[in-house]
Amino acid sequence: MQQPAAARSASPFGAWGAAAAIILYILLLTALRLALSPFLEIDEAAFVGAVDLRLVYADAHPPLYAWLVRGALELTDGRWILAVAAVKAGLLAALHLLVFDAARRVAGATAGLVAVALTALMPQLSFMAAHTLTHPVLASVAAAGLVNGVARLATGPRWSACLVLGVALAAGALAQPEIWLLAVPLGVAMIADRFWYDRLASAWTFLVPLLVGIIAGPALWALADALKASGGRIGRLYAEGRFEAVDVSGVGVDGVLSLAVAAGLSGGLVALLVLAFARTRPALAAEGHAVRRLLWRTLALALTLSAAGVLAADVSVVAPRALMPILMPLPVVAALHLAGRRPWALLKAGATVFLLVPVAIAGVTAFGDHRFVRPYDVWAREILAAAPQGRIAVTASRQVLAANMMLAFRRAGRDAWVAHDRHAPLTDVAVVLAPGPGAAPAPPDGLCPDAEVTTTAPLRNLAATPMTVRATIARRCRP
């Protein structure tokens, strides 16, 4: 990697050293994930039984993450933990490398390092992305690709920039619909700026819609139909939120407040750093100022349009994770302002937060009731002791319980599948699960109960809190 002409300060690491540091950090997170538990997080568990190659999945979820997990399962011989950890590691590495490279191309390697350090101060990108999120991480990678494509378009050949922009937008379209909340304002801001209008005046620009159509066109068509029928995905936007007391009928006042809080929690600290220490115009080349101007305008337009949409649609709840793609320009544009002002302080702060992330993940696992430490293996042994021989179909009131118990049954040596897996072979035994004490869950239609089991075991951590699961074991009814 060569330093761009716009570089203003040298980095002691250099581009390759920074890339190596990012990859080593991601390897540390991956090693920790594999060491903590053989079971799945709630977002990871959603893919169990849903990795057949479709254009759209349940609840109108776009397909790309499921496709990546399917590919990783093929490469790891069906080992779920290795597969989901490998996909997450690749995405986290891509996210930080794209952010670093975008700022590096505009203002040098130090700015690139500062941009990566600033992502540590955005909790959704540092802690939540590493710990639990799936689809939003992929959408954030795509958004980082758009920002990287913008930097390339300003400083390098147009063909490579348009290639990156097209692939990034296609990947985002296959990741989360929220990518359009960034892509559309970005396009509007580019057309309205003379510098960017001139840069787009090239035959290579047609490569962007061409790639989106080829890569994502069929899935976008399927997603459009699925979203119309997706009650669950739309319903979450209208759930009762924390600002229900100020809700106005027909107008999403509470949703705008929720949006403001989500934006503040996600990127507020980075924005405050810019306001406090870097309100003056940074020393950049003309291309750098064009990128800076475009990214600020894109952020302002994206948040304004999002607020207007929330207000008009009477949305009640905006989750911070939904803003992850929209806010991806923030660490890069903030780095252009802050890299010339005590960058070492920012690098030290970012490195400290990054190192605290695995500590926090380990702490949550050690002292909480996290799914990583729930006693699935003990529950599986107790249930299997009462179950007849044969292949098992697992059903539960919660997908994460069904997925992890399927893994626990397999770890105990039984052939087990989640019941809704379309690739599952015919099964002999059904196990229906429900968390907590109470009556045994009802067996599936057409099956008769064979045994009922209620089992309690402590969490596999320092808290050792007892947890209970109820199971009904069923087989086909005999005449």
Task: Output the domain CATH number for residue 416.
Answer: 3.30.110
Rounded to a whole number, what is the largest CA-CA distance in the chain? Answer: 84
The pLDDT of residue 239 is 56
Residue 383 domain-assigned? yes
More confident residue, 15 or 430: 430
Write the DSSP string, 169-214: HHHHHTT-GGGHHHHHHHHHHHHTSHHHHHHH-SGGGGHHHHHHHH
The pLDDT of residue 1 is 41
Do 231 and 137 belong to one domain?
Answer: yes
Residue 9 domain-assigned? no
Q: Where among 332, 350, 366 does a domain terminate? A: 366
Cα distances from 248 to residues 50, 237, 244, 251, 259, in angstroms, run 39, 15, 9, 6, 16
Do 225 and 289 belong to one domain?
Answer: yes
DSSP lists the bridge partners of residue 472 as 432, 452
Do 355 and 415 belong to one domain?
Answer: no
Do 379 and 344 belong to one domain?
Answer: no
Do 98 and 208 belong to one domain?
Answer: yes
Do 384 and 243 belong to one domain?
Answer: no
Do 196 and 268 belong to one domain?
Answer: yes
Residue 8 domain-assigned? no
DSSP lists the bridge partners of residue 189 as none
Closest CA to 318 of 330, 303, 333, 328: 303
Tokens in use for 322?
Answer: 């939904």
User: Under DSSP, is residue 57 helix (H, G, I), strand (E, B) or coil?
Assistant: strand
Do 166 and 237 belong to one domain?
Answer: yes
Per-residue model confidence as pLDDT tens digits over 259-279: 999 999 999 999 999 998 877
Is 134 in contact with 182 (CB distance < 8 Å)? no
Do 435 and 300 belong to one domain?
Answer: no
Residue 4 domain-assigned? no
Q: Where among 366, 398, 433 does a domain terminate? A: 366
What does the H/E/C string look like for 358-406?
Answer: HHHHHHHHHHCCCHHHCCHHHHHHHHHHCCCCCCEEEEECCHHHHHHHH
Residue 469 domain-assigned? yes
Do 251 and 332 belong to one domain?
Answer: yes
The pLDDT of residue 5 is 40
- Range(s) of the domain holding residue 442: 374-476
Q: Does pLDDT of 444 surpass 90?
A: no
Residue 7 domain-assigned? no
Predicted structure pTM score = 0.92
Pairing of strands 466-476, 429-435: antiparallel
Do 268 and 307 belong to one domain?
Answer: yes
Write the DSSP string, 400-458: HHHHHHHHHHHHTT--EEETT-TTPPP-SEEEEEEESSSSPPPPPTTEEEEEEEEEEEE
Q: How confident is the model at residue 234 (pLDDT cuts 50, 70, 90)?
A: low
Do 302 and 418 belong to one domain?
Answer: no
Q: Does pLDDT of 412 surpass 50?
A: yes
Residue 90 domain-assigned? yes
* Segment holding 252, helix H or strand E: none
Tell me the residue type at 442: A
Q: Does pLDDT of 250 surpass 80?
A: no
Give mean pLDDT, residues 24-46: 95
Please give the tally of structural domains in the chain.
2
Within 13 Å, how many C-alpha atoms sit on residue 202's CB side? 17
Cα distances from 70 to residues 49, 59, 90, 172, 315, in angstroms, run 10, 19, 14, 18, 34
Pairing of strands 447-458, 416-418: unpaired
The pLDDT of residue 9 is 46
Cα distances from 137 to residues 81, 119, 124, 180, 248, in angstroms, run 18, 13, 9, 15, 33
Residue 2 domain-assigned? no
DSSP designation for 248? B
